[in-house]
Structures are given as C-alpha cells and as structure tokens.
A = this chain, B = another copy of it.
C-alpha cells in the first residue's frame, strides 16, 4: 500500500511509502491524520492549501459485507473544521486494488474555475496519473457526466464526480460515487467536499484498477474464518431483516412515534402524514410498481443487508436510487410533504446536482420559514431546486445549505451545528443524538453517533452524554475501518471479529478493543485539527433556540447541561 499524491498545479503524481505514524489508520482516521500533518488548520477551505483526501477504510478491498466504504476528507467550507464524508459504492474497492492507502490531492488546477476549459479529470491507474481536460463535462449533472466518463474510460472504472453544485463551489456540495450498477448515487454528501473538489478544478477522479491484483491478506485462512463469522452474525441479526425489507426508511414511523421526526422546519417532531412516507409504504409502492422498482438493493458487492432501494414511478421506471430515511425526513415531513413520488423527484434532482439532501432539505425548510415556499408545496420546492441548476443568486444561497438560507433571510430558527444541518432525528426528542450533533468535530451529523436505538429515556438529559460518547467512538472506529454503520450489528454481537479481521489482513497484533482504540484516536486527531482551526467549547452547542423553544408533541427543549457537553470527550 502506498500514498498517492497528486499535485494539480504541477500535474504530477508521486507514489510514496506510508509513513509509520499513518500506517495503522485508514478511512476517516487516516484522513484526519493527514490533514493534521499537512494542511494548515486555518487555511481557506477553497484555497490551494486545503487537501482533498480519498482514503479507503482498513477493511476495504475484500467484499466484506458493508465494509468497502470510501472516506473523503479535507477542511470543510461549510463548518470551517475537519471533514470526513463517506460513501458505499465501488470507489473504495478500486482504490484498494490499486494499492492506495490514500490519495492526497494538493493545490489547484491553475486558474481553476475561471472558465470551462480549466476543468480536469484525474485518471489513476497502475500506469500512474493523467490529468485530462474535460470542458465538455462542465455544468453537467452527475448522471450525464458519469455516463460520458464511463464511455470514455470504460465501464469497469470507479468514479468520484461532482455536479454543478461542486463546480459552483456551493457549501452543501458532495462527491458522487458509482453504485454496483454504475449509477452515481453513493454520495459523500456532507460538509461541502464537492466544493473543495470544484475549487481545485477537478470534475472527476477515475479509479481504474484494471489488471491490478486484489489487496494482499497476511493470513487468508484466519481472514476467511472471521469473515464467515461476521457474515453469519450480520445475516441473522433481526435489524438486518428490518433494513432489507424497509431500508433506512424503516426509521420514519419509529421516529414519528418518538416525536422525533423533523416536521415543518423542525417546528414539531410529529408528522400527521408519516404513514405515507414510511418504509412500509415505500416497500408497498416499489413492490406494486415493479419494473426498476425494488425495495431492496446492494450499494456495493457483497453486502448481505441490502438496505438500498430503487424507487420507480407509476410506470416502474426509476425515479431515484436510493430513497433514504434522511431524505424522507428532511425533504418530506420537514417540508410538510407527505408524498414519496414528490420526495423521490426532489431527491433525484439534488443527487444530480451533486448536493447533500440533508442540508438541502433543511435549507428548504428554512426557506419556507422565510416565505419562499409554502409547507407541502412540492412543485414549488422542485422549482427552487431548478434555481440551483441555473446558478441564480437564490439557487446559490440554497445550495450553500440551511445555515446560509437562515443568514441571508434573517431567520434564526435554523437546525444546524457548526453550520451543518441536522439529520432527521430531532435533538429535543432524541437528546443523545443531540449531544452528538453538538459535540462532533464533524458538525451536526447522525452518522457521527446516533443514539436512537439505545434503550433509554431519550428525553432524560442526564444519561445522554455517556451514550453519545460511546456512539461517537464506535462510529469513528467504523468509519476508520470503512464499515457501514449497519455492519455494526454484526460486530456488536461478536466484538472479537474486528480484531480477528485486522490481524488476519495485516499480520500484526491489535488489541481486543481496536474498534474503540481507532475511534478514540480519530476523534482526538479531529478535535486537535478543529482546535487549531479556532474551535472551542462555545462551538459544541446546539442552536440557542432549541434550548428555549418547546418541541411538540413532548414539548421538550434541549436541556443537556453544558458541563455534560464539555465532558463528552473526557474518557
């Protein structure tokens, strides 16, 4: 495994040995380590000194179920702090086959962004790197751009590609990756890394592992045994069946029952039309419509959970893949929209623009508070998304996400932390997830440590900090392994599997609690970067209004103490 370092100003590629201090990390942890070692924490996120880092997790490359995720990292233009966003799909696997411990993209294409002739594709293969012009792709949505890139470079490649949002350097722009059917639908969505890529002048990175060997395994037998145990644990877990049948959308009714489904711009936790946007309804519709429609689908080869789906229209033709709970919560109930077809159309549009559906849904909710659309008006919401495609001032405001909409229109009830929008778990009703939103170095993000499944009183402020601490450590660990959060169901049943897999893969000893070791190390690195970037405990807070305005139906406020918030990382 080597570090691949591409400098866009020079058009050069170096392949370097992995420094000792980096060698036990992967994915999110490695991205944090590299950022701390190389990028000035106070650098301008859209400037030449920021890095864009692609790092497959430590377990990537072996078709371990749900463990081939790619982490993308850098300094976030949305939060101003460290950022890692990860995705499924095929990018991680191709990187691992190419022997990349990480790809570090430095500097910018000269005069990046000044006109369409400056756009470049970075093609990486065993032969090295080629930086090729792609003026024909400028302004294209990710769907059309990916189709042309696959035609140009072959169907076998993996792609990381930005849409018009990334080109416009919008802070809610993500980086799209291909799923196993080569649909650009696996987005490293959060925190504006698409804008970082756009600022560098890159429209796409092509990973072409043709002819490359599989990544080595130190002890294949031991690996196989551990893999088998993991797969069995995972396949037989009751949550796996739930997610296979209903996908992440299974959370809609559960959250509504908890009073935690963001509704009408986070003004309520209960949506009267929750049934109509539930996982149950999604399953019913997709089965009924047939054609492309399916309630269960793998985002990457080897996954036994298959929580993805393909949502077809009345004619069965795909409207979007996948339709996830976060999108349903933020673009459905949060906008008062109780109709899956409308949500699917919005989802496709946002995917194709290369944007984060969470921040966009939250942005439209704030826009509704500002009078730019009525709650429930899906047609108007779709019109607003077209403003982004046209690059109008209003479109750009929306494409920068919820915090920007609030700022420009003077709305203070904005559901963000560190500038990043909350996911579809209302922190006044699931207070442990609220602690994660407040304190995660990533900004508000359920994937940083969701506590919704914990068997506790989610309204009791006293028990939440410890819960969030454990969840944040585990999630940072999974993100360093390249494991999907749902792989955790399998790991939780048999915690000895993670160390067994790592020992077999790398031929070195690791402690039994390696998941937590990696998680804690990652969080320490991220927090150190943020500290140097200027973050303090004052930034580890939910927005003031959520500590004062009561949320129906429980009429609760976020009341976890500041002492508890400040102690989350005291382990």
A binding-site residues for B, Cβ under 8 Å:
40-44, 46-47, 49, 113, 168-171, 195, 198-199, 392-394, 396-397, 400, 404, 407-410, 412, 532-539, 541, 543-545
A340→B208 CA distance, assembly (Å):
60
| Contact of A412 (CB < 8 Å), options: B42, B44, B407 | B44
A410 / chain B contacts, CB cutoff of 8 Å:
46, 113, 168-170, 195, 198-199
A47→B543 CA distance, assembly (Å):
11
A412 / chain B contacts, CB cutoff of 8 Å:
44, 46-47, 199
A544 touches B42 (CB 8 A): yes
A544 touches B409 (CB 8 A): no
By CB atoms of chain B within 10 A, which of A171, A195, A536 has the most?
A536
By CB atoms of chain B within 10 A, which of A412, A533, A535, A543 has the most?
A412
A47 / chain B contacts, CB cutoff of 8 Å:
412, 544-545
A171→B412 CA distance, assembly (Å):
13
A399 CB to closest chain B CB (Å) equals 9
A171→B44 CA distance, assembly (Å):
22
A437 CB to closest chain B CB (Å) equals 16
A538 touches B533 (CB 8 A): yes
Known contacts being A392-B393, A404-B408, A410-B195, is A545 close to B168, with CB within 8 Å? Answer: no
A199 / chain B contacts, CB cutoff of 8 Å:
410, 412
A43 / chain B contacts, CB cutoff of 8 Å:
544
A332 CB to closest chain B CB (Å) equals 25
B545 touches A44 (CB 8 A): yes
A198 / chain B contacts, CB cutoff of 8 Å:
410
A384 CB to closest chain B CB (Å) equals 11
Q: 20 extra interchain contacts, Cβ-Cβ under 8 A, other than A42-B541, A47-B545? A: A43-B544, A44-B543, A44-B544, A44-B545, A46-B410, A47-B412, A171-B407, A195-B410, A199-B410, A393-B393, A393-B394, A393-B397, A397-B397, A397-B408, A400-B408, A408-B408, A532-B538, A534-B534, A534-B537, A535-B536
| Contact of A407 (CB < 8 Å), options: B40, B400, B543, B544 | B400
21 residue pairs of the A-B complex, CB under 8 angstroms, read: A40-B544, A42-B538, A44-B412, A44-B543, A44-B545, A47-B544, A47-B545, A168-B410, A169-B410, A171-B407, A195-B410, A393-B394, A396-B408, A400-B407, A400-B408, A404-B407, A404-B408, A408-B408, A534-B536, A534-B537, A535-B536
A170 / chain B contacts, CB cutoff of 8 Å:
410
A42 / chain B contacts, CB cutoff of 8 Å:
538, 541, 544
A429→B171 CA distance, assembly (Å):
33
Q: Taking CB as reference atom, which chain B residue is nearest A168? A: B410
Q: Taking CB as reference atom, which chain B residue is nearest A198? A: B410
A400→B410 CA distance, assembly (Å):
10
A393 / chain B contacts, CB cutoff of 8 Å:
392-394, 397, 408
A534 / chain B contacts, CB cutoff of 8 Å:
534-539
By CB atoms of chain B within 10 A, which of A49, A198, A534, A541 has the most?
A534
A530 CB to closest chain B CB (Å) equals 10
A41→B539 CA distance, assembly (Å):
12
A238→B545 CA distance, assembly (Å):
54
A408 / chain B contacts, CB cutoff of 8 Å:
393, 396-397, 400, 404, 408
A171→B406 CA distance, assembly (Å):
12
A537 / chain B contacts, CB cutoff of 8 Å:
534
A550 CB to closest chain B CB (Å) equals 15
A536 / chain B contacts, CB cutoff of 8 Å:
534-536
Q: Taking CB as reference atom, which chain B residue is nearest A387? A: B393
A404 / chain B contacts, CB cutoff of 8 Å:
407-408
A41 / chain B contacts, CB cutoff of 8 Å:
538
A394→B171 CA distance, assembly (Å):
17
A380→B198 CA distance, assembly (Å):
29
A106 CB to closest chain B CB (Å) equals 15
A539 / chain B contacts, CB cutoff of 8 Å:
534
A195→B408 CA distance, assembly (Å):
12
A20 CB to closest chain B CB (Å) equals 29
A106→B408 CA distance, assembly (Å):
24
A42→B538 CA distance, assembly (Å):
7
Those 9 A-B pairs whose CB atoms lie nearest each other, nearest first: A169-B410, A534-B538, A393-B394, A393-B393, A534-B536, A44-B544, A44-B412, A396-B408, A46-B412
B49 touches A544 (CB 8 A): yes
Q: Taking CB as reference atom, which chain B residue is nearest A396? A: B408
